[in-house]
A and B are shown apart, each in its own frame.
Chain A
Amino acid sequence: MKYIDEFNDPDLARRLLDEIRATATRPWALMEVCGGQTHSIIRHGIDQLLPEQVELIHGPGCPVCVTPLEIIDKALEIASRPGVIFCSFGDMLRVPGTDRDLFRVKGEGGDVRVVYSPLDALELARSNPDREVVFFAIGFETTAPANAMAVHQARRLGLANFSLLVSHVRVPPAIEAIMSAPACRVQGFLAAGHVCSVMGTAEYPELAERFGVPLVVTGFEPLDILEGIRRAVRQLESGEHRVENAYARAVREDGNPAAVRMIEEVFEVTDRSWRGIGRIPSSGWRLTDAFRAFDAEHRFDVTRIRTEEPAECRSGDVLQGLIKPTECSAFGTTCTPRTPLGATMVSSEGACAAYYLYRRMNAPTPQATRAAREEMNPVA
């Protein structure tokens, strides 16, 4: 298939793997930031094919995983109200709140709908003037422009029955927080290609310099990921730490200026809680005062909902790359996609779910994984 098969070519993949193997003379730990990349890595078995010296740590880049429980509870409350059409991307429906999920709200009579774009939700608001239409605006920089555009259009069209429940997060502050954590083992990053296609790469050189890590902007097909790994390892081996663009077919240095302008018009930077990790300063977006009327939290008066997350699972450790999913004692036993303890097991992009689905066959015990890692990387 044109444009996709080319990035799945097994011969080219073998060549890249050979080159990575030849380049890596010592253990390196790389983090892929984006959940879409985690999914692709596991789905294609890339982590099994890499030489032992190259370890991939799965980052906090699944927007479904990091959406705080409190926001999910607010979503459930709003979606339960009569007269509301609650619109969401599909994979948020299964994320458990404190005691239920959006599927259950739908089962109990709530009008919950899966949409593919916030503009679909906008159209629903236009065609249902007597209903309140709420769109669950989650995601990284990738989904923010379209969500901003939806609000911008709602205001232009005078649609007073449209609002957003916003839980947007930003990648660079997360990288900063991960690198600042005392136990951090990450030595290089595969930066999320789709995020950079919107934002460009201007925010990254300072991070590469300050933390001494290579940041390679990477795509999502198997060859994209291998190429990102190859370049990151090459930089590490030669003692470099630059921002490199290995996804030039989609990412320009200045990103998509029109999309960035749209984000800046509608959203402003705010502190944001990340599920399992905690509050990261300046790591999110909220609607500006000019668009506050479209903020579902205020419109439906759910700002009073405050949810404490009960301590049960280690998704926080997983999201920061401190442990692999298989090192959690609940993995595959009390915590499965059917009975998720945490969102990393709920979302199809979550690292735990990816491991469970594709790796259950030969998941090593936590002890074995840890021993193998210590043997490989005594400084860990």
Chain B
Amino acid sequence: MPELADTVDPADWTCPAPLRDQPVVVMGHGGGGALSAELMEQVFAPAYGNAVLAALADSAVLELGGARLAFSTDSYVVRPLFFPGGSLGDLAVNGTVNDLAMSGARPAYLSAAFVLEEGVELTVVERIARSMGAAAEAAGVTIATGDTKVVESGHGDGAYVTTAGVGLVPDRVDIRPQRARPGDAVIVSGPIGLHGVAIMSVREGLEFGVEVASDTAPLADLVAAMLTVAPDIHVLRDPTRGGLAASLNEIARASGTGVRLRERAIPVPDAVANACGFLGLDPLYVANEGRLVAFVPPSTAEEVLAAMRAHPQGAGATLIGECVADHPGMVVISTGLGGTRVVDLPLGEQLPRIC
């Protein structure tokens, strides 16, 4: 009969030394979680930090020539280039449109810079460009400037697109993560996790019984409808990389408040729940490309919800929780069974579990 005491002295039980710093870029640095935040804080901020950048919002709000201008940029490196519900081009337009919209701005002009890989068929580039044109038209923005570079074969995934955008922020609108207040209603505009699962299903060749389409969509018009009924929206965020969990953690930390969610209220489509169950992932961490999460004063919550539900992009709007004074900087969820758990900021990208 084996006795652990015979095989090992408890005083010698050991573990590896921690990996405190990665000396090279790892995939997690682009995952929208803690590693991304550290890259920002430790590399970029010391190099060219300033008061505007320090706000760490999806878009910067600038005073320029008497106008309040929202300004944002984002790079898009999705594989595959075309997926159920959208393409690289859709993401490149909608993503930047949404980053601008999350400051309450009406997006107006975008730039589009392509990095193309040698050997990619021109019909592929044409399809991406056409999808960008259509997405820009649907979002009411003009692609006003651009650039193209080509890298040698093997040095890119076919095509990368970087878009930047500007838009005007209406008077009296002040939407930023620091403005979350205890008591605020936390609202999500629709079912979560569809984009991430759509990409996984095509990228990994996984079938989940039904085709899951990305939710990529422009949200500026929905935001305008919300502002019409409630000009004093406190926070808006589009929960892309890192999902709802990353966005809510960023808001909680920026505002020094806590967030309390009700698990059963969070709209998770069956296909997303199934896929996540199969892979051991949590839907709260899965990327969205056509959803927003809003923190609004409790007195306006019902009106905002009604306005959202009357809009095609907000038909599935749901109250999922509230901002609280307890546990500042943390997101806590009430589980369906009545327990609670902390929803932490993801480290990097979620990893499928073994079993």
A contact set with B: CB distance below 8 Å: 1, 4, 8, 10, 13-14, 36, 39, 42-49, 63-64, 69, 72, 89-94, 96-101, 103-104, 106-108, 114, 116, 138-140, 142-143, 173, 176-178, 180-182, 194, 222, 275-281, 308-317, 320, 322, 334-335, 337-343, 348-349, 356-361
Cβ contact within 8 Å between A91 and B13: no
Cβ contact within 8 Å between B340 and A342: no
- Cα A103 to Cα B24 with chains together (Å): 10
* Residue B8 is within 8 A (CB to CB) of chain A in the complex: yes
Cβ contact within 8 Å between A107 and B354: no
* Residue B277 is within 8 A (CB to CB) of chain A in the complex: yes
Chain B, 300-343, contact with A by CB distance < 8 Å: what is the 0/1 string?
00000000000000000000000000010010100111111111
Cβ contact within 8 Å between B332 and A361: yes
* Residue B148 is within 8 A (CB to CB) of chain A in the complex: no
- Cα A14 to Cα B338 with chains together (Å): 9
Cβ contact within 8 Å between A361 and B327: yes
Taking chain B's interface residues, is the majority helix, strand, or loop, or is none over half, making it mixed? loop
How many residue pairs link A and B with beta carbons under 8 A? The number is: 211
With A114-B351, A180-B2 as given contacts, are A310 and B337 in contact (CB-CB < 8 Å)?
no
Q: A43 — which chain B residues lie within 8 A by C-beta?
A: 335, 341
Selected contact of A276 from candidates B14, B25, B338, CB within 8 Å: B14
Q: B11 — which chain A residues lie within 8 A by C-beta?
A: 311
With A1-B274, A89-B354, A338-B347 as given contacts, are A309 and B339 in contact (CB-CB < 8 Å)?
no
Cβ contact within 8 Å between A312 and B5: no
Cβ contact within 8 Å between A44 and B353: no
Pairs A-B, 7 closest by C-beta atoms:
A45-B339, A278-B8, A316-B13, A342-B15, A358-B341, A309-B14, A90-B351
Cβ contact within 8 Å between A311 and B27: no
- Cα A32 to Cα B12 with chains together (Å): 25
Chain B, 263-281, contact with A by CB distance < 8 Å: what is the 0/1 string?
0000000100110010110
Q: B354 — which chain A residues lie within 8 A by C-beta?
A: 63-64, 89-92, 138-139, 143, 349
With A8-B336, A89-B352, A96-B16 as given contacts, are A103 and B206 in contact (CB-CB < 8 Å)?
no
* Residue B1 is within 8 A (CB to CB) of chain A in the complex: yes
* Residue B64 is within 8 A (CB to CB) of chain A in the complex: no
Q: B338 — which chain A residues lie within 8 A by C-beta?
A: 10, 13-14, 45, 49
Cβ contact within 8 Å between A46 and B337: yes
Known pairs A46-B337, A177-B3. 16 more at Cβ < 8 A? A13-B338, A14-B338, A36-B280, A45-B337, A89-B354, A100-B19, A103-B28, A173-B2, A180-B3, A182-B5, A280-B7, A309-B15, A314-B13, A315-B15, A339-B18, A358-B342
By beta carbon, the residue of chain A nearest B13 is A316
Cβ contact within 8 Å between A276 and B15: yes
Cβ contact within 8 Å between A142 and B355: yes
By beta carbon, the residue of chain A nearest B21 is A339
By beta carbon, the residue of chain A nearest B355 is A142
- Cα A155 to Cα B351 with chains together (Å): 30
Q: A317 — which chain B residues lie within 8 A by C-beta?
A: 10, 13
Task: Point out which of B8, B18, B34, B353 has the most chain A C-beta atoms below 10 A from its C-beta.
Answer: B18
- Cα A170 to Cα B96 with chains together (Å): 51
* Residue B174 is within 8 A (CB to CB) of chain A in the complex: no
* Residue B210 is within 8 A (CB to CB) of chain A in the complex: no
How big is chain B's contact interface, by range?
A: 35 or more
- Cα A72 to Cα B34 with chains together (Å): 24
By beta carbon, the residue of chain B nearest A62 is B354
- Cα A276 to Cα B336 with chains together (Å): 34
Cβ contact within 8 Å between A10 and B336: yes
- Cα A97 to Cα B17 with chains together (Å): 8
With A139-B355, A180-B2 as given contacts, are A49 and B28 in contact (CB-CB < 8 Å)?
no
- Cα A176 to Cα B20 with chains together (Å): 36
- Cα A194 to Cα B24 with chains together (Å): 38
- Cα A69 to Cα B15 with chains together (Å): 8
* Residue B204 is within 8 A (CB to CB) of chain A in the complex: yes
Measured CB to CB, the closest approach of chain A to B283, in angstroms, equals 12
Q: A99 — which chain B residues lie within 8 A by C-beta?
A: 17
With A89-B352, A89-B353, A315-B15 as given contacts, are A279 and B8 in contact (CB-CB < 8 Å)?
yes
Cβ contact within 8 Å between A342 and B2: no
Q: B2 — which chain A residues lie within 8 A by C-beta?
A: 173, 176-177, 180, 280-281
Selected contact of A1 from candidates B270, B335, B339, CB within 8 Å: B270
* Residue B22 is within 8 A (CB to CB) of chain A in the complex: yes
With A43-B341, A312-B15, A313-B15 as given contacts, are A1 and B332 in contact (CB-CB < 8 Å)?
no
Selected contact of B26 from candidates A13, A104, A322, CB within 8 Å: A104
With A89-B354, A311-B12 as given contacts, are A341 and B341 in contact (CB-CB < 8 Å)?
no
With A1-B270, A4-B273, A176-B1 as given contacts, are A63 and B336 in contact (CB-CB < 8 Å)?
no
Q: B347 — which chain A residues lie within 8 A by C-beta?
A: 94, 337-338
Q: B23 — which chain A residues lie within 8 A by C-beta?
A: 104
Q: A140 — which chain B residues lie within 8 A by C-beta?
A: 355
Q: B28 — which chain A residues lie within 8 A by C-beta?
A: 103
Measured CB to CB, the closest approach of chain B to A369, in angstroms, equals 17
Q: B280 — which chain A residues lie within 8 A by C-beta?
A: 36, 91, 348
Cβ contact within 8 Å between B27 and A103: yes
Cβ contact within 8 Å between A106 and B27: yes
Measured CB to CB, the closest approach of chain B to A347, in angstroms, equals 8
With A43-B341, A45-B340 as given contacts, are A279 and B7 in contact (CB-CB < 8 Å)?
yes
Q: A337 — which chain B residues lie within 8 A by C-beta?
A: 344, 347
Cβ contact within 8 Å between A13 and B273: no
By beta carbon, the residue of chain A nearest B28 is A103
Measured CB to CB, the closest approach of chain B to A221, in angstroms, equals 9
By beta carbon, the residue of chain B nearest A356 is B344
Q: B336 — which chain A residues lie within 8 A by C-beta?
A: 8, 10, 44, 222
Q: B342 — which chain A residues lie within 8 A by C-beta?
A: 357-361
Cβ contact within 8 Å between B351 and A359: no
Cβ contact within 8 Å between B355 and A143: yes
Cβ contact within 8 Å between A361 and B340: yes
Measured CB to CB, the closest approach of chain B to A204, in angstroms, equals 16
- Cα A81 to Cα B62 with chains together (Å): 50
Selected contact of B204 from candidates A92, A93, A116, A357, CB within 8 Å: A116
Measured CB to CB, the closest approach of chain A to B81, in angstroms, equals 20
* Residue B4 is within 8 A (CB to CB) of chain A in the complex: yes
- Cα A358 to Cα B274 with chains together (Å): 22
- List 19 A–B pairs whose Cβ atoms lie within 8 Å, in order of A's numbering: A4-B274, A14-B338, A36-B280, A44-B337, A47-B339, A48-B340, A97-B16, A99-B17, A104-B23, A176-B2, A277-B13, A310-B17, A311-B13, A313-B14, A314-B13, A342-B16, A348-B351, A359-B341, A361-B340
